[in-house]
Structure 1
Amino acid sequence: MVEVDVLVAEIGSTTTLVNAFCGIGTPCPRFMGQGVAPTTVLQGDVTVGLEKAIKDLEKKLGSPLKWQRMMASSSAAGGLKMTVHGLVHDMTAKAAREAALGAGAVLHMTTAGVLGDAELERIKKIRPNIILLAGGVDYGEKKTVIENAKKIAGLNLNTPIIYAGNVAARDEVASIFEGKNKVFFVENVYPRIDELNVEPARKVIQQVFEEHIVVAPGMEKIRTMVDGPIVPTPGAVMMAAVLLKEDIGDLMVIDVGGATTDVHSVTEGSEEINRILLSPEPVAKRTVEGDLGVYLNRYNVIEIVGFEEAKRIYGENLKEALKNQPPVPENPDEIKLAEFLAEIATVTAVNRHAGEIKHLYGPTGRYTVAQGKDLTQVKWIIGTGGAFTRLPGGKNILEKIKAKAGTKKLLPGEDAKVLIDWDYIMASVGVLSKECPSDAKELLKKSLRLK
């Protein structure tokens, strides 16, 4: 019997991982191994796949396991489905969107202004896990957010509401949802002009997710096995990134998956760029590119560069290779294609995530502004997920996102160092950090070969 302190499950849409850790609470926490199995959420019981992943881990370790705690992250059952609704697209709606994405949500809808009938119908069809309602700086305009509260309450969805808008409208919003929806009140995501305040909302989003994920289809029995926190997987990666930044400085994390590519950055940016930013950006930012994936979206990735150009770079057999590409590449030809797709997805996703310098013209002539996230102070570029931890060319791909001479994009410089999450545990240590932050930090440093 192998004694394990903590098992952390990562329940994905197709695959469930289980990571085992021992030595928690000692100076030398240790990653013991990882078990893998298909996720069984579609069969109506996610614990079947979870048990199979544990069996796989026991087989690899050569002995049955005995553990004290089990924690989890999940992107199964559709992940954390959210809709967000603000007042102005570039202000409160943007701030609400940043809060939701940073918490690990899958955003199905973002609106600005008073909700119309068509938008209300979309919300009903989406049936989000959480609705984030914002609007107005504190003690500013409140008519729109109150009107939206009335319209959402009229949908009778019984969906949890997080209110992160004008503090002066709180009492009226509370009375609107009384007896209809459970409401969680947090600080305004945009309390004053040009000030983002997304962290309070992010924390509550994850708390609400943990309370309500257990009623998602196929997830009902999750609490029969998991007795610790359950966090949205992308949110767990962000938690790990924020924790690590405290020790090693500004960083970004890229995760290329079969369907999407996630980019997380944790950096304040440079003072020079901050002075000319058109609108504020969060310190911790996540973007998710739903069209960039190396398996389900491989044809979309090819379209980024164009099929003929891709064939010129890759080779004449591109069409056949795409047709036969499996979810998990194994032979040299499959690995070659996966790396080709991962490079396009990575470079495209990071360029979408990064801000840029723009030259505008006014009455006094040309002036320079910056728009979007400044990555120029990033010193560490981290790859996690299957594409970077399993493909031999992962580090070379990440080197290609660095700024080139003459670019207007606000990308990391040539001195940024590339690291790989070799143990593929970043999401798991993010979950672990809720209760054991120092252990989580040590385990992640070991996986990145910083120890």
Structure 2
Amino acid sequence: MKIDVLVAEIGSTTTVVNAFNNIDSLDPVFVGQGQAPTSVLQGDVNIGLKEAIDDLAKKLEVENIDYIEMLATSSAAGGLKMTVHGLVYDMTARAAKEAALGAGAIIHQVTAGKLRRTDIKKIEEIKPNIILLAGGVDYGERDTAIYNAEMLAKLNLDIPIIYAGNIENQEEIKLIFEDTKFKLYIVDNVYPKIDELNVEPTRKVIQDAFEEHIIHAPGMEHVRDMVNGPIIPTPGAVMESSKLLYEKIGDLIVFDVGGATTDLHSVTKGSEEIERILISPEPLAKRTVEGDLGVFVNMKNLIESIGKDTLEKELGFEISEILKSYNAIPKNKNEISFVERLTKEAVLKALERHAGRIRNVYGPSGRSSLAEGKDLSEVKYIIGTGGALTRLPHRKEIMKSISQNNHTGLYLYPTEETEILVDNDYILASLGVLSKVHKEASFSLMKKSLKLNENQLIKSEVD
């Protein structure tokens, strides 16, 4: 069978392959999906890729599959591990962190100010895939970024290092890394002026560097034997889908609840009213990842958050038997109810940490209101992807509940008018990397998976 495009999602444990045909037509088609265990530990990710394609062929009842293009997203081999280093935490360090998270990175260290010996030791222990160095607004403070560059250069690691700080330092930075093993990328400042973020150029370079160097990760050395198109981090691919949807339908948030983590992507400018009282800038596209909120690996954290007694009272049964037998995918009515409640808790906690809030402050002239964090009040769509929010029976009710949990009215949450959409085919990550080379086909497939209608598209254009 001939397939136009295969997109592989190479996860830490499972490799999924999605097949698409008629990719250059007005009506591209999602053909099917195959999966197999990821084979990084066997020293060659292609083993798992071939098995996933074989599984796809079996499901499609064909002998073999030929493809023209194969693209990939990857969170295997530890995903994209990064460390981020800036000048002031709430300014350049935070801007650099936003850039890295939006690109799909797993951030293992963020530092502000001059690097200490303990910081350098931790970087050596982390063994990051990429280091991001920032610091200073353009034509502002220079010395800290130069000092940090000199400290990092001594590590002499054979990895990419990205400089996204004060542009006055660029020539100096080139000299510092000139005779090292580091592959230096220089990009526009992530924080060029006070209260101005410029994260998109850095995000693009992070993904480019990831694609160029991922083939050096253990087990990934031969990935280019099969994958002939872009490779980007899986969370970064979901962000690419989120940004494309924003262009077409307007302000939105995307939840991805997994077994170990919960990711939340938002693409919204927020309201003009909140923007006037915002104490620090927020990026248009923001990602947060909650490493303690997962419905399998980290389910104990969610149980503790709800309270075991409260959970059992809500469910109407004891959970001890479930805890003995539950193995990632719920099999019966009680397990489904249990996972649905954990998923709701993960969604609510992730939203609380991602969303901004109003703070009342008191001064000589009385009370005034300030806003901090991401304003989600203009969001039109809440989208669910990932296993839990695409497969659980009450997935829409779980997402609808978030606008009803702003009890104080101080959180900058979506309103109750927000519409709920589900990635029914569970392909948003694949479509994110597909959008890099087939943008309109990618959106056409999103419309089908999310069951978007023309009124929603027209409404966004009018708005």
TM-score grouping bracket, smaller chain normalisation: over 0.9
Equivalent residue for 1:178? Answer: 178
Equivalent residue for 1:162? Answer: 162
SS at match of 2:402: coil
Question: CA offset at residue 372 of structure 1?
Answer: 0.2
SS at match of 2:403: coil
Equivalent residue for 1:391? Answer: 392
CA distance in 2 between partners of 1:38 and 1:388 (Å): 22
Equivalent residue for 2:444? Answer: 442
RMSD, matched Cα = 1.1
8 Å contact from structure 1 (residues 298, 322) kept in 2: no
1:293-304 → structure 2 map (5 Å cutoff): 293-304=294-305
Unaligned runs of 5+ in 1: none
CA shift digits 1:244-276 (9 cap, x unpaired) = 111110011000001000000000000000000
Q: Which amino acid aligns with 1:32?
A: V
Equivalent residue for 2:331? Answer: 330
Q: Which amino acid aligns with 1:69?
A: E
CA distance in 2 between partners of 1:224 and 1:339 (Å): 41
CA distance in 2 between partners of 1:446 and 1:208 (Å): 32
Question: CA offset at residue 331 of structure 1?
Answer: 2.3
CA distance in 1 between partners of 2:332 and 2:33 (Å): 22
Q: Which amino acid aligns with 1:129?
A: N
Equivalent residue for 2:322? Answer: 321
CA distance in 1 between partners of 2:168 and 2:193 (Å): 13
8 Å contact from structure 1 (residues 100, 202) kept in 2: yes
SS at match of 2:32: strand
8 Å contact from structure 1 (residues 251, 266) kept in 2: yes
Q: Which amino acid aligns with 1:165?
A: G
1:426 alignment partner, one of 425, 428, 437: 428
SS at match of 2:68: strand
SS at match of 1:57: helix
CA distance in 2 between partners of 1:124 and 1:256 (Å): 31
1:322-401 → structure 2 map (5 Å cutoff): 322-401=323-402
CA shift digits 1:130-149 (9 cap, x unpaired) = 00000000010011000000
CA distance in 2 between partners of 1:279 and 1:299 (Å): 35
Q: Which amino acid aligns with 1:12?
A: G
Question: CA offset at residue 100 of structure 1?
Answer: 0.1
Equivalent residue for 1:231? Answer: 232
Aligned: 1:66 with 2:52: no
Aligned: 1:197 with 2:185: no
8 Å contact from structure 1 (residues 10, 18) kept in 2: yes
Equivalent residue for 1:3? Answer: 2
Q: Which amino acid aligns with 1:113?
A: G
1:77-116 → structure 2 map (5 Å cutoff): 77-116=77-116
Equivalent residue for 1:33? Answer: 32
SS at match of 2:367: strand
SS at match of 2:136: coil
Please say which of residues 79-88 and 61-70 is displaced more in the overlay.
Answer: 61-70
CA shift digits 1:336-390 (9 cap, x unpaired) = 2211111111111011110001101122211100000000000000000111112
1:416 alignment partner, one of 408, 415, 418: 418
CA distance in 2 between partners of 1:267 and 1:171 (Å): 36
CA distance in 2 between partners of 1:59 and 1:292 (Å): 35
Please say which of residues 396-405 and 334-343 is displaced more in the overlay.
Answer: 396-405
CA distance in 1 between partners of 2:194 and 2:425 (Å): 43
Equivalent residue for 1:18? Answer: 17
SS at match of 1:400: helix
CA distance in 1 between partners of 2:311 and 2:142 (Å): 51
Question: CA offset at residue 406 of structure 1?
Answer: 4.1
8 Å contact from structure 1 (residues 165, 190) kept in 2: yes
Question: CA offset at residue 241 of structure 1?
Answer: 0.7
8 Å contact from structure 1 (residues 81, 130) kept in 2: yes
Please say which of residues 40-49 and 293-302 is displaced more in the overlay.
Answer: 40-49
Question: CA offset at residue 315 of structure 1?
Answer: 3.8
SS at match of 1:401: helix
Q: Which amino acid aligns with 1:345?
A: A
CA distance in 1 between partners of 2:190 and 2:98 (Å): 9
Question: CA offset at residue 391 of structure 1?
Answer: 1.3
Q: Which amino acid aligns with 2:248?
A: D
1:145-294 → structure 2 map (5 Å cutoff): 145-180=145-180, 181-294=182-295
Moved over 6 A (4+): none
CA shift digits 1:219-255 (9 cap, x unpaired) = 1111111011001000000001101111110011000
Question: CA offset at residue 301 of structure 1?
Answer: 1.2
SS at match of 2:383: strand
Q: Which amino acid aligns with 2:430?
A: S
8 Å contact from structure 1 (residues 198, 282) kept in 2: yes
CA distance in 2 between partners of 1:333 and 1:45 (Å): 39
Paired-residue identity, %:
59
Question: CA offset at residue 28 of structure 1?
Answer: 0.5
Judged with a 3 Å threshold, the aligned counterparts in structure 2 of structure 1 residues 198 and 29 are, in CA distance, closer, same or farther, namely same
CA distance in 1 between partners of 2:355 and 2:116 (Å): 32
Question: CA offset at residue 332 of structure 1?
Answer: 2.2
Equivalent residue for 1:312? Answer: 313
Q: How many residues align structurally?
A: 450
Question: CA offset at residue 431 of structure 1?
Answer: 0.4
